[in-house]
């Protein structure tokens, strides 16, 4: 079995693969002040809860966009397994990275690109809706061409409620119509429908600049709320990054 760990700004997601099948998915809150031992205890407890023998884990691969936590998570995972690969420059991914400075490509973007190459027809556009909202392009030659980054849905919503005294906290639900008639649904319209329109518009622009994609796939914790409201045909794959990490582990073991 292979342990994949995706360290994000909001959550740490780890998936356990048995061959190419996902045997376990679990999430922890990203807490920068925690120690390796504290995270290790979480890992061990989760494995124990699901009756998984840690000795059967062949190795682990970590992608992290939180540099101050990377070594912490490496040390935590090393308590249950000695072989840990950290996705960083120099690790084999199979990607031809064509951005201005390839060393600056985020580990999550690299893993997502590898995941879409391994599992979907190319060329492809990938939408990642997490702490930030991202769209990026991968062509049929397995080249990462670039993308866009916008403030994430929760970041935008928190900024709105924190700076506007009369606006409430809302549930992440789509309202019945775009032109809403109360404060909560007006906010939901702006957040849900507004983000969906942004995605549709950016997909159109990417298509005009690049090519007609054979695949558009969305991932990230908030994608499930937004993608149903988009007009484009979009596949939802919440485990795309973990699948990419598994492929990267196989390339580097």
Catalytic, 108? Answer: yes
Quick check: 63 and 107 in contact, CB under 8 A? yes
What is the DSSP code string of 89-140? TTS----EE-SS-GGGS-HHHHHHHHHHHHHS-SSEEEEEESSEEEEEEE-T
DSSP state of 69: H
Cα(171)–Cα(151) distance, integer angstroms: 19
Q: State how far Cα 74 lies from the chain centre.
A: 19
> What is d(CA 36, CA 146) in angstroms, rounded to the nearest whole number?
34
- Annotated catalytic residue within 42, 53, 108, 128: 108
Task: State the DSSP H helix or E strand holding residue 72, giving kind and residue range, or none if neither.
Answer: helix 67-78
- What residues are labeled active site? 108
């Amino acid at each position: 079995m292979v342990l994949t760990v995706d360290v994000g700004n909001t959550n740490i997601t780890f998936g356990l693969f048995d061959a190419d099948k996902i045997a376990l998915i679990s999430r922890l809150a990203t807490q920068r002040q925690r120690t390796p031992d504290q995270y290790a205890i979480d890992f061990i407890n989760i494995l124990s809860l699901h009756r998984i023998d840690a000795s059967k884990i062949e190795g682990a691969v970590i992608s992290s966009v939180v540099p101050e936590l990377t070594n912490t998570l490496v040390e935590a995972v090393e308590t249950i397994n000695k072989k840990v690969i950290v996705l960083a420059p120099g690790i084999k991914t199979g990607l031809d990275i064509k951005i201005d400075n390839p060393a600056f490509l985020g580990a999550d973007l690299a893993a997502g690109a590898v995941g879409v190459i391994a599992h979907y027809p190319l060329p492809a556009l990938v939408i990642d809706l997490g702490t930030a909202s991202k769209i990026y392009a991968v062509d049929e030659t397995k080249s990462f061409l670039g993308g866009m980054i916008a403030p994430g849905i929760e970041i935008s919503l928190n900024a709105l409620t924190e700076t506007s005294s009369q606006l409430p906290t809302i549930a992440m639900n789509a309202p019945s119509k775009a032109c809403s008639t109360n404060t909560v649904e007006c906010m939901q319209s702006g957040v849900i429908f507004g983000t969906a329109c942004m995605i549709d518009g950016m997909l159109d622009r990417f298509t005009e600049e690049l090519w007609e994609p054979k695949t558009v796939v969305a991932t990230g914790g908030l994608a499930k709320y937004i993608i149903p409201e988009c007009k484009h045909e979009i596949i939802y794959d919440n485990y795309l990054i973990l699948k990419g990490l598994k492929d990267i582990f196989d390339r580097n073991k």
